[in-house]
Structure 1
Amino acid sequence: MAVDGPAAAAPDRLADAVAGLLPALGRPSAVVPAGGFYRPASLRLERGRTDPDARYTDWLDAGALTREVLAPVGPGGTGEYLPVLWDVARDRAARAPRRPAPEQGVLLVPGALLQGLGLSFDVVVHLRMSPAARRRLTDPDQAWQLPAFDRYDEEVDPSALADAVVLADHPDRPALLLGGRFA
Structure 2
Amino acid sequence: MKQSDEGASRYYTAGYDGVARFFHWLVVLLIAAQFVIGWTMPDIHKGTRPEGLIAWHLGVGAALIAAVVLRIVWRVVHPPMLAPLSPFLRVVSKITHGLLYLALLVVPVLGWANASSRGWSVKLFGLLPYPAISSVGSPVGHEMGDIHGYLAWVLFALIALHFAAALFHRFILKDQVLQRMLP
- Give the strand-richer structure, 1 or 2: 1
Larger RCO: 1 or 2 (CA < 8 Å, sep 6+) = 1
Where on the TM-score scale, by shorter chain, does this alignment land: which range? under 0.3
Q: Please give the TM-score of this superposition, normalised by the length of structure 2.
A: 0.27
- Give the helix-richer structure, 1 or 2: 2
Q: Please give the TM-score of this superposition, normalised by the length of structure 1.
A: 0.27
Give the greater-gyration-radius structure (CA).
2
